[in-house]
Structure 1
Amino acid sequence: MRIAVTGSIATDHLMTFEGRFADSLVVEQLDKISLSFLAEDLQIRRGGVAANIAFGMGNLGLRPILVGAVGEDFRDYRSWLVRHGVDCDSILVSEVRHTARFVCTTDSDMAQIATFYAGAMSEARAIELGPVAERLGGLDLVVVSPNDPEAMLRHTAECRSRGIPFAADPSQQLAWMDGESIRQLIDGATYLFTNEYEAALAEQKTGWSPAEIAERVHTRIITKGRDGVTVAAKGQDPVHVPIAREARTADPTGVGDAFRAGFLAGLGWGLPAEQCAQVGSMLATYVIETVGTQEYELGQQRFLARFAEAYGAGAADVVRPHLHCLRP
C-alpha cells in the first residue's frame, strides 16, 4: 500500500520543569501573564508530525512517502529517516528558511507549554501531489497532517480532484483554522483523526453535529487518552479499543503521531480497523515511555508479548506475520 504522509518536519527542543504550571497561573491575571520556568533538562530530538508518523510506519516495515518542506539543515535528519525505511524523495528543500522548530516544556503533571516556528514549512503550499503519484505509479492514501494551513487545503483539494483517498489529521491546526477551512479539510475524508478535545472543537467551528460529520467521512477515529480510542466507520457500530498500559511515563510528546503510525501500518497490512487501533495504541505506549518522538526501539518478541498482554493472544497472532521486519 502506497501511503504518502504530508505535514510538518521539525526539530524538537524538549525541556522538563520539575513543578506544576498550574501553581504559577493566576486566573484573574491571565491577560497580563509574564512567566518563565526553570527547566531541569533539555533534549534536542528529531520531530514534526509527518516525520514522526512516517518514522513509525517505517519501523513497522512499511515504506511511507514523506511529503513536506525543510531547510538545507535537513541533511542528517534525512539520512536518519531513509535508514529507517522512509522515502524522502518528495521533500521540498527551501533555499532561504530553516527546518521548522518545536520548543516544548513539560511539567510534572505532563502538562505542556509549547511554541512552534514554521520556517520552511510555510513553503509546503507549493508542493503538488501529482508528481509524487506519478513517481510511484499511484497513491493509495494521502495523510494530510498538521502543516502550513494552505498546504493542507491544497493537498486535500488535490486528493479530491485526482480521486485519491485521504486521511484528514488537522490536530493542532484546528485552533488556527476557521470553520470553512476545517469543513474543506475534512469533507469527504476516508479517515478523520482527532483527539476528544479536537473532535469537539471541529464540531463547534464547522457547525456540524457528530452525525453530520459521520456522514461526511468514512471512518472517524477519536483518541481519548487513558480512555482509549473509538473507531466509528460509516454503517458499522463504533469499536472501542483500550490503551496498552505503559511501563513508565517519560514524555507524552509524539504519542498521537505514534498512534497514527501504528493505525496506518495496520491499514497497510490489510487489518480491520479494530486491529489497526490496537497496533496504534501499542506503538503510542512505546513513545510515552521515551523522551523524544523517534527514540524508541521495537523488538519482535517484546512487542508481541506486550500486545498479547493488552489485547489477547488471538490479536497477537493476527499481527505476528507482519512483524518479520523487527529484530528478535
Structure 2
Amino acid sequence: MTQQSTSLLVGLLAGVSAALLLVSAGSPSSLSFILFAAAALPVLIAGLGWSNLASIVAVGCAMLIIGFATTPQAALVSAVTTLTPAAWIAHLSNLGRPAEEIGGPQGGVAWYPLSDIFINIAGCVCVGLVAVGLAMGYGPDFVEQLVDVFVDTLKHNNADYELSAGSLAEMKQFFLYALPTIQAAMWVLILLAGWYVASAIVRMSGRSKRPKDDLPSQLRMPRLGVFALAAGVAMSFVQGGVGLIGWTLIGAFGIGFIASGFAIAHHRTRGKPARGLLLWTAYLATVIFTVPLAFFLFLGLFDTARTLTVTGSGPNPKP
C-alpha cells in the first residue's frame, strides 16, 4: 500500500472516529463533555502521525457523517470549532527547517515553535467561536432565553427558589459576557490538552516526526499575544457584538497567559525540595479561590518568548 493510500485510509478511520464522538456528545449524558473534548484527538493523531492529507480527509469525512446524522449546521459548527483547528495544529507541529539556518547545529532540524502553536490555538478558538456566535445570533435575546430555561430548571428542582427582577437582569447581563469568555478559555485548554495527548500517542507508536517538547520551559505566549489580549480588553468596553468579540479574545488569550504562568511555576521550581507541595498548593488555591489566576496571568504576561525545539540538541530557547 502506498503512502497516499495509507493516508487516505487513516483519514477515513479518523474521520469516522471523530464523527462518532461528536454525534455521541450531542446526546445528553454525563460523558457528553468528555466525548466532545476527545473529538479532536483522531484528527490530530492522523495529521501528526501520517500526513496533512490524512487530517484533511478526516475533517471532510467527519463533516459528511455529522451532516447526514444530524444537520449541516452541526457539521459546520464542528468543523470550525474542533476539526479544522485540530488539522491546522497538526500541520504546524510537523513544520521544520534546517537548524543551521538559525544558528543551530549542523544537520539538525528546528521545529515550529511551541509558543506559536499555542497562539494559533487561541486564534483558532476565537475565529471559530465568533463564527458560531454570528451564525447562531448570539446576543441579549439568545442569553435571555437561555437564562430563563436555566432559572426554570432551578425552580423545578427547588420550589422555594425565587429571583427578584433585578437579580434576574444582573444574571442575564453576567451570562452575556461570561459565556464567550469561559467557553473560549475552556476550548483553548481542551485543544492544548488534545495536542499534548495526541503527540504522546504518536510518539509511542514510533511515527512522530517532532521530538517531545518540554512544556515547563517552552509553553509561553509570544509578544503578539499581549497585543491580542490588549485589543480584547479595549473592545470589551464597547457595547454589542464588538464587546462580545472582545470578551472572547480575553478568554482565549487570557487563559493562554495563565497556562504560561503555570508552566513558568513548574519550570522555576524544578529541583526544589518543596516543589510538589508548592505546585499542589498553587493548584488547590486556584480551584478554591480563583484569585491566584491573576498572579499566574501576570507571571505569563511578563515572560513572553518564542522557543524552539531542535532535533538532537533538546529544547533551545531563541528570542
> Structures share a fold, TM > 0.5?
no
The structure with the largest helix share of the pair is 2
TM class by shorter chain equals under 0.3
The structure with the largest strand share of the pair is 1
Q: TM-score with structure 1 length normalisation?
A: 0.26
- Answer with 1 or 2: which has the greater Rg: 2
